[in-house]
Structure 1
Amino acid sequence: MNPLILLILVLSLMLGTLMTFILTNWLLIWVGLEINTMAIIPLMIYKQHPRAVEAATKYFLTQATASALLLFAGVSNAWLVGQWELTEMNQISSTLATFALALKIGLAPMHFWLPEVLQGITLTTGLILTTWQKLAPFAVLLQLHHMLNPNLLTILGLSSILVGGWGGLNQTHLRKILAYSSIAHLGWMVSILHYMPNLTLLNLIIYIILTSSMFIMLIHTNSTKINTLAPLMMKMPLMSTIMLMTLLSLGGLPPLTGFMPKWLILQELTKQNMVLTATIMALATLLSLFFYLRLCYTVSLTISPNLTLSPTTWQTPPTKSNFSLAIFMTMTTMMLPLTPLMLTLTM
């Protein structure tokens, strides 16, 4: 791709997201989301492959549907309330906006597009889709949190956690596993959105750190399936150890960074007298933890055949910079003591 075109697309991605951050007019927010969507589609198909074209088409149709529903919610709200401000919404329009934004980010039961789209694009574009593309819809949700229906958010959150756990059990493609992991993490964020939005923001930040770390490692090792991780311990022992720690952090095991957001969410739900909801969410986490541990087993305990005949990767000079991986890995494993400080900063 031409570097100038690539620069324009990246700047458009940033512009669309920043518009949703700083604006409160429904029409301008819709324009920002559309700019965001239109900018990432050429990045999906810059490698001319039928699977990438199919993924881009599915993504475009899904996002177009969500954008039309979101525009309808804004127009109906302006018709009933008399203004386009985001802070003045009626119950019907806020419910329609909730469904539209849930479709945009891939919450269950509107999640079917996310694994299929992520499977058909490159790892680098998948990194953008699972991290940066979540910021703009969540910026709108965080501004609307006090007007959203808590029961609807709880249903969407519980269904996403269950679907994310069940869907990832029988997958062998790493991108699909990360897609279902994304669905499960989004369910945790949405379930607490109405009661404590700053905790949702904290969970979103930590999710982006963990997912970015995992995608960067897959890009460095060029791994797309589980069986490609088997010889990693013998060829790249340090990288496999880092991947093992990241997977355990994604599963929410202490003393890693991913533990504290889940603990704080369960604590807040208990304070809101939602003990049953918190119990179901804690039990559903075991489903996600199972396929994380399966990946850990493949990375650390599986011995690949023909080791003596394969070239030793550690003897070849590295061709990629590990600076970004070092930063994300440090935050993935060692940010647990700083979580209360981060929660205070988000208030």
Structure 2
Amino acid sequence: MNPITLIIIYFTIFMGPVITMASSNLLLMWVGLELSLLAIIPLLINKKNPRSTEAATKYFVTQATASMIILLAVVLNYKQSGMWTFQQQTNSMLINLMLISLSMKLGLAPFHYWLPEVTQGIPIHIGLILLTWQKIAPLSILYQIFHLLNPIITTILAISSIFIGAWGGLIQPQTRKIMAFSSIAHMGWMMAILPYNPNLTIINLVIYIILTIPMFMTLMMNSTTTINSISMLWNKTPTILAMTSLILLSLGGLPPLTGFLPKWAIISELLKNNAPIMATLMAMMALLNLFFYTRLIYSTSLTMFPTNNNSKMMYHHTNLKHNFILPTLTTISTLTLPLSPQLIA
């Protein structure tokens, strides 16, 4: 692809969520969502093969449907109230339409079917953008209207996403699909706490992005797309194997790693707001999440798949792929739990 075209595309992807976050006008928020949607489509079909074309089509159809519902809710709200913002007197049906459409954009269950398939059919670095940066704009809209959301619908979306994210990741041999189901589960945790303490949603999103970026970096460095291919890390880059294991445990929320912080804070906040059943269900599903992360670690570090003799000595060769950001991000994603009082305060 032309470098100038690529720069314009990435700049548009960057500006879309920025416009959404900086706007209080619902129409401008919709414009920001559309910018990021239309800009990422050329990246999805950059590699011309049937899988990428299928993924781009699924992504476009789903996101365009959600955008249409958002625009319908915005226009009907303007017709009823004469304002481009949601107020306390706004029709609850319009708020629910907005919530459902944003759930489709985030890939929350039961609107999650497109996310694993799209993530599987695109390059790893585009999957990173899809699972991190593209989540910011819808969540920023939900953050601005959290006091108007129906807590029952929000809770149903959150619990179903956590269940689907936990169970779906158990049977996946593809690393990109595992990360997609991980994203669904983490989005469920963010939605669960949104009606009670939206600031914890932002903290959870930031920590999730910090954890996901180094995980995708390790996948990109070795082009590992399946559990079998990631199992070869021990004889290619043993150091990366150790870093990957720590990041996976942190994603699963195992103390004393950084990923434990948002789960601990969210469960504590739910208990303060008299929601012990919901907190218990979420903690139980967190164990399932930790299980399929641990399965990855088991496949990579505790088992030795059949390999030829030449591949067993590959770590002696010089690795030309140097990444200076990865050690810093790995440190942040594993060792920042002592900062939890400052972050939660």
| TM-score between the two structures when normalised by the length of structure 2 | 0.97
**Kept in 1: contact 2:99–2:149 (CA 8 A):** yes
Q: How does 1:82-93 map to 2 (within 5 A)?
A: 82-86=82-86, 89-93=90-94
1:166 aligned partner: 167
CA separation of 1:238/1:87 partners in 2, compared to 1, >3 Å: closer, same or farther? Answer: farther
- Partner deviation per Cα, 1:237-293 (whole Å, 9 max, x = no partner): 111000100110011000100001101101111111111111111111122111111
Secondary structure, counterpart of 1:172 in structure 2: coil
Shift of 1:231: 2.4
- Partner deviation per Cα, 1:139-172 (whole Å, 9 max, x = no partner): 1010011111111111100000000011111110
Question: Structure 1 residue runs of 4+, over 6 Å off?
Answer: none
Structure 2: 5+ residue stretches without partners: none
CA separation of 1:248/1:44 partners in 2, compared to 1, >3 Å: closer, same or farther? Answer: same
Q: How does 1:299-338 map to 2 (within 5 A)?
A: 299-306=300-307, 308-310=309-311, 312-338=313-339
Secondary structure, counterpart of 1:7 in structure 2: helix
Which amino acid in the other structure matches residue 247 of structure 2? T
**Kept in 2: contact 1:24–1:87 (CA 8 A):** no
1:340 aligned partner: 341
**Kept in 1: contact 2:67–2:101 (CA 8 A):** yes
1:195 aligned partner: 196
**Kept in 2: contact 1:24–1:86 (CA 8 A):** no
Give yes or no for the alignment of 1:110 onto 2:111.
yes
Q: Tell me, in whole angstroms, the C-alpha distance in 1 between the residues paired with 2:30 and 2:259.
A: 32
Structure 1: 5+ residue stretches without partners: none
Range that drifts further, 331-340 or 221-230: 331-340
1:225 aligned partner: 226
1:291 aligned partner: 292
Q: Tell me, in whole angstroms, the C-alpha distance in 1 between the residues paired with 2:114 and 2:181.
A: 11
Q: Tell me, in whole angstroms, the C-alpha distance in 2 between the residues paired with 1:52 and 1:33.
A: 22
- Partner deviation per Cα, 1:63-82 (whole Å, 9 max, x = no partner): 00000000111111111221
Number of equivalences: 344
Shift of 1:307: 5.1
Range that drifts further, 303-312 or 293-302: 303-312
Which amino acid in the other structure matches residue 228 of structure 2? N
**Kept in 2: contact 1:25–1:86 (CA 8 A):** no
Shift of 1:235: 2.5
Which amino acid in the other structure matches residue 230 of structure 1? S
Q: Tell me, in whole angstroms, the C-alpha distance in 1 between the residues paired with 2:188 and 2:194.
A: 10
2:125 aligned partner: 124
Give yes or no for the alignment of 1:272 onto 2:276.
no
**Kept in 2: contact 1:193–1:200 (CA 8 A):** yes
- Partner deviation per Cα, 1:294-334 (whole Å, 9 max, x = no partner): 00101111113235322633333332231121121011111
**Kept in 1: contact 2:34–2:67 (CA 8 A):** yes
1:183 aligned partner: 184
Secondary structure, counterpart of 1:109 in structure 2: coil
Shift of 1:25: 1.0
Q: How does 1:205-220 map to 2 (within 5 A)?
A: 205-220=206-221
**Kept in 2: contact 1:12–1:39 (CA 8 A):** yes
Q: Tell me, in whole angstroms, the C-alpha distance in 2 between the residues paired with 1:223 and 1:199.
A: 33
**Kept in 1: contact 2:77–2:86 (CA 8 A):** no
Shift of 1:340: 2.5
Shift of 1:86: 4.4
1:38 aligned partner: 38
**Kept in 2: contact 1:158–1:187 (CA 8 A):** yes
Which amino acid in the other structure matches residue 98 of structure 1? L
| TM-score between the two structures when normalised by the length of structure 1 | 0.96
**Kept in 2: contact 1:231–1:302 (CA 8 A):** no
**Kept in 1: contact 2:124–2:219 (CA 8 A):** yes
Shift of 1:87: 5.1
**Kept in 1: contact 2:175–2:227 (CA 8 A):** yes
**Kept in 2: contact 1:260–1:339 (CA 8 A):** yes
Which amino acid in the other structure matches residue 286 of structure 2? T
Q: Tell me, in whole angstroms, the C-alpha distance in 1 between the residues paired with 2:227 and 2:7.
A: 33
Q: Tell me, in whole angstroms, the C-alpha distance in 1 between the residues paired with 2:70 and 2:145.
A: 13
2:60 aligned partner: 60
**Kept in 1: contact 2:265–2:344 (CA 8 A):** no
Which amino acid in the other structure matches residue 48 of structure 1? K
Q: CA RMSD in A?
A: 1.2
Q: Tell me, in whole angstroms, the C-alpha distance in 2 between the residues paired with 1:312 and 1:86.
A: 62
Q: Tell me, in whole angstroms, the C-alpha distance in 1 between the residues paired with 2:307 and 2:94.
A: 61
